[in-house]
């Protein structure tokens, strides 16, 4: 993701709790002492940590947060509560199902059995009103 964002002309700092050979490894998003208002945040968070990661992102973000998550994340009582507290300004749903491989291990998912409907959930500082739902074409 970071390289595509750089190609679009943006400055990118990449952090991960695991050192994967890209960006700065060993940074725990939930425990790190972030400078408030410095970063827009783009992430595909660990799904089990979505709620605490969104709460942390809301405390520290500059203008925008974008999280790539399964569309099914719009449902469930705990997630409903966080979406009620922090409604996304926009949700961009992929038109086609996509494969997200854990730890980038796409070869483990070659059968296509892991295809799921994903969306970008976006929060914009100062946004009020209802969440806008949009569709996006998959880039290949």
CA distances from 89 to 19, 48, 80 (A): 32, 22, 15
pTM (2 decimals)? 0.85
- SS3 call for 46: coil
Number of domains the chain is built from? 1
Q: For residue 120, is it within any domain?
A: yes
Q: For residue 131, is it within any domain?
A: yes
Average pLDDT over residues 4-19: 83
% of the chain with per-residue pLDDT over 90: 55
Average pLDDT over residues 79-86: 94
Q: For residue 93, is it within any domain?
A: yes
| Helix (H), strand (E) at residue 57 | helix 50-60
CB 124 within 8 A of CB 64: yes
CB 86 within 8 A of CB 93: no
pLDDT in tens, 23-75: 788 888 999 899 999 999 999 999 899 999 999 999 999 999 999 999 999 99
């Amino acid at each position: 993701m970071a390289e595509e964002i750089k190609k679009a002309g943006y400055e990118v700092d990449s952090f991960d709790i695991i050192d994967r050979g890209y960006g700065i490894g060993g940074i725990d998003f939930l425990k790190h002492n972030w400078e408030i208002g410095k970063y827009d945040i783009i992430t595909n968070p660990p799904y089990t940590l979505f709620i605490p990661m969104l709460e942390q992102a809301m405390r520290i973000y500059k203008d925008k947060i974008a999280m790539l998550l399964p569309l099914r994340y719009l449902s469930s009582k705990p997630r409903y509560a966080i979406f009620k507290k922090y409604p996304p300004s926009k949700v961009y749903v992929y038109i086609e199902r996509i494969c997200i491989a854990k730890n980038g291990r796409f070869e483990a998912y070659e059968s296509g059995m892991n295809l799921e409907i994903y969306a970008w959930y976006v929060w914009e500082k100062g946004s009020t009103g209802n969440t806008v739902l949009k569709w996006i074409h998959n880039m290949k």
